[in-house]
Structure 1
Amino acid sequence: MERSWRRAKVRPGGVEGGTAVQAWWKVVGACLATARAVTRGRVLRGLGRSGLVLACLAVGAWGALALWFQFPGGTVARGVVILLWCIAGVWALRACFACRRRWRSLAVFAAALALLLGWWATIQPRQDRQWADDVAQPLHARIEGGRLLLDNVRDFHWRGEDDYDVHWERREYDLAQVRSVDLILSYWMGPAIAHTLVSFGFADGRQVVFSLEIRKERGESFSALGGFFRRFEAVLVAADERDIVQVRTSVRGEDVYLYRLHGLDQDGMRALLRDYVAQAQALERAPAFYNTLTSNCTTVVYELMRRIVPTLPLDYRLLLSGYLAEYANDVGGLVPGVPFATLRERGRITQRAREAGDVADFSRRIRQGVPGIAEEHVP
């Protein structure tokens, strides 16, 4: 009996042995739970700190650029203000890694941000600047009955960037005679970036081109980065096709492609024209800023087209406008049955536009060989 009792006492599965093992596992489990909790807390604190650091860096960079592009005064004044802003930002970053008085330092940076945003809200678009000649006249557009009336249609004759004949016209078009819509892409900065223009053709052979552009002041040049920071107002230009294509091919040295849009009936074309008229009238009533990302030559075209075809999908090529024609082809907007490589090759009008010069039938000549355009219109 005694020997059996002793074996039971020390046996692992026995009464006391089992209790000891269970207690040991409870201790191990508690240690593991504590370690997991500590690790989870450290991870969460690390993620929170990283998020705070990234937020401070993003806000600091945005504020510095906003001050650089918009703060009034000379370079020295801007430099001083940006330096003060950066000191507040660095102090906030330092506070992200401190254990004491962290929120006090961040509160100072938040107060500086509130002041910056208050100043930013005071920056409003204007219509009374000293504009460059090619965007000096705002477009006045209206529809009366079945007539499209456009005042200040640009029809310059270009010999060089600073050598041109200024000419603004009043034109009328019969909406019942609209026959075509063409997409024109002008490449000025690599294969991914192009300026987007839309050209409407009428039965009498005339073309009118609409283009949303920055409204440059005299002596001012475009900055894609500045376009994020309310640097430029927007203007809708209506122009003779010879003017607006030739200045890009023959003066600025850009590479230009033309594509016939497919799938729009006459009602759709007229609706798109009406939307351009509404856009011109909106800018005439209240000026707006050009934005490199959200309100540019391509995104405006997309929004106008989407009113007619609501199912148009969003796509990265709406931002990388150099690929817009490929996007249009993928959604069935270009001539069907023709490979895109062929559309692009035969739609390159750069050389034809340069050779055509100021001829009266400029629009006919640049369309020679472009797929989807009836041969009888382009002998």
Structure 2
Amino acid sequence: MLLRTFLLSIVTLFVLLSSIWALLALWYQAPGGMLGRLGWCGLWMLGMAGCLYWLWAGPSGWQGTLAYVLLLGLLLLWWTGIQPSHERKWADELAHITTGEVERNRIRLDNVRNFEWRSTEDYDIRWESREYDLRRLRAVDMITSYWGLSSIAHVLVSFGFDDGEHVAFSVEIRREQHESFSEIGGFFKQFELSIIASDERDVVRVRSNVRNEDLWLYRINLSPTDARELFRSFVVQANQLAEHPRFYHTVTGNCTTIVFSMMKQIVEGLPLDYRLLLTGYLPAYVHDVGGMMPGLQLEDLQRRGRITDKARAAGDDPAFSRLIRRGVPGWD
């Protein structure tokens, strides 16, 4: 009797935990809008309750277990049929994925974003083609942008050339016109993944001046060879995404883990660390592995690397990238 109760309790726990996942999956992906999501979630709860009743009230419990396994199997079959797509009504700033052509040290990028932002609803749309000579690449910067919790930040990687031009790569959720970002939705196939190269006056100003986010810039300690290889890696990854759509995932496929996978191919021995997931603490991780300007404490790099006020003051000045770097270690 005790053994039966124990086994039924284990099965019940599995049913309850898997149903939490199932209800979230239905909430974020079930068709029919709000009413459809409520209806499918309600049906799941009725089915789950029936299986649990059958599990405990039946003569042996196996009938209720089998019924739930079949129910969960049908849900998983539906779930695996949800595939990423490039054919959706994307938000204007995410309408394209950057692609590139690599010919040794020369790279041509198509769909480089260079919007003129006045507000989240008022902007000029510009997608450009640009060419870069990697022999003229002089610097790599990491930019972190915070909008709420100190443990969460969006990460940009910016490449600087000897003529003063900077282009920043951003691994983004590919949000549709009616969507807003959701960390939980990122676990449940709510967004596709994209890589976008942007002019810094676009990608930094939209965060500092329009969305009122707080930004820090850190010069990264990379050899010229590794810097060029990282630029090429962004282009390769972007081309792959443009060819084969992929879902964003809050943990396994986000703005940090994608870049980390590139860096592991370039710099040997990079350790896994919780700060790769809690992206707000990523600067501490990069500092600890020797990726920032040597000889400076992290606190000093953070104090001198905050660029929010400088970005707001610079506005649309053509010298925007130079102005935001004043006083930043490695640039002063």
Same fold (TM over 0.5): yes
Query: What is the CA–CA distance in structure 2 between the aligned matches of 1:55 and 1:310, rounded to whole Å?
Result: 40
Q: Which residue matches 1:358?
A: 316
Query: What is the CA–CA distance in structure 1 between the aligned matches of 2:148 and 2:257, rounded to whole Å?
Result: 18
Q: Which residue matches 2:84?
A: 125
Q: Which residue matches 1:328?
A: 286
Pairing of 1:35-74 with structure 2 (within 5 A):
48-74=7-33
Identical positions, percent: 49
Q: Which residue matches 2:195?
A: 236
For the 8 Å contact 2:8–2:61, the answer to whether it is kept is no
1:265 to 1:50, Cα distance in 2 relative to 1, 3 A: farther
Residue 107 of structure 2 corresponds to residue 148 of structure 1: yes
Q: CA shift at 1:87, angstroms?
A: 2.0
Q: CA shift at 1:208, angstroms?
A: 0.6
For the 8 Å contact 1:234–1:290, the answer to whether it is kept is yes
1:82 to 1:272, Cα distance in 2 relative to 1, 3 A: same
Query: What is the CA–CA distance in structure 2 between the aligned matches of 1:368 and 1:352, rounded to whole Å?
Result: 8
Q: Which residue matches 1:274?
A: 232
Query: What is the CA–CA distance in structure 1 between the aligned matches of 2:108 and 2:4, rounded to whole Å?
Result: 63
Residue 157 of structure 2 corresponds to residue 195 of structure 1: no
The residue identity in structure 2 corresponding to 1:204 is: D
The residue identity in structure 1 corresponding to 2:125 is: V
What is the SS of the residue equivalent to 2:41? helix
1:316 to 1:96, Cα distance in 2 relative to 1, 3 A: farther
1:80 to 1:160, Cα distance in 2 relative to 1, 3 A: same
2:137 to 167, 178, 203: 178
For the 8 Å contact 2:58–2:64, the answer to whether it is kept is no
Q: CA shift at 1:242, angstroms?
A: 1.0
1:341 to 292, 296, 299: 299
Q: CA shift at 1:46, angstroms?
A: 6.9
Q: Which residue matches 1:297?
A: 255
Deviation >3 Å, runs of 4+: 44-51, 91-99
Q: Which residue matches 1:38?
A: none
Q: Which runs of 5+ in 1 are unaligned?
A: 1-40
1:336 to 1:95, Cα distance in 2 relative to 1, 3 A: farther
1:259 to 1:219, Cα distance in 2 relative to 1, 3 A: same
Query: What is the CA–CA distance in structure 2 between the aligned matches of 1:199 and 1:214, rounded to whole Å?
Result: 18
Q: TM-score, normalised by structure 2?
A: 0.96
Query: Highest relative contact order (Cα 8 Å, sep 6+), 1 or 2?
Result: 2
Q: CA shift at 1:88, angstroms?
A: 2.4
1:46 to 1:369, Cα distance in 2 relative to 1, 3 A: farther
Q: Which runs of 5+ in 2 are unaligned?
A: none
What is the SS of the residue equivalent to 2:290? coil
What is the SS of the residue equivalent to 2:263? helix
Q: What is the CA RMSD across the aligned residues, in angstroms?
A: 1.7
1:183 to 1:47, Cα distance in 2 relative to 1, 3 A: farther
Pairing of 1:215-230 with structure 2 (within 5 A):
215-230=174-189
1:86 to 1:246, Cα distance in 2 relative to 1, 3 A: same
Query: What is the CA–CA distance in structure 2 between the aligned matches of 1:275 and 1:174, rounded to whole Å?
Result: 15
Q: Which residue matches 2:164?
A: 205
1:95 to 1:245, Cα distance in 2 relative to 1, 3 A: same
For the 8 Å contact 1:195–1:297, the answer to whether it is kept is yes
Residue 132 of structure 2 corresponds to residue 137 of structure 1: no
Residue 329 of structure 2 corresponds to residue 368 of structure 1: no
Q: CA shift at 1:222, angstroms?
A: 1.0
The residue identity in structure 1 corresponding to 2:246 is: A
1:176 to 1:51, Cα distance in 2 relative to 1, 3 A: farther
Residue 228 of structure 2 corresponds to residue 245 of structure 1: no
Q: CA shift at 1:119, angstroms?
A: 0.7
Residue 249 of structure 2 corresponds to residue 288 of structure 1: no
2:219 to 260, 267, 270: 260
Query: What is the CA–CA distance in structure 2 between the aligned matches of 1:48 and 1:331, rounded to whole Å?
Result: 48
2:268 to 307, 310, 319: 310
The residue identity in structure 1 corresponding to 2:88 is: R
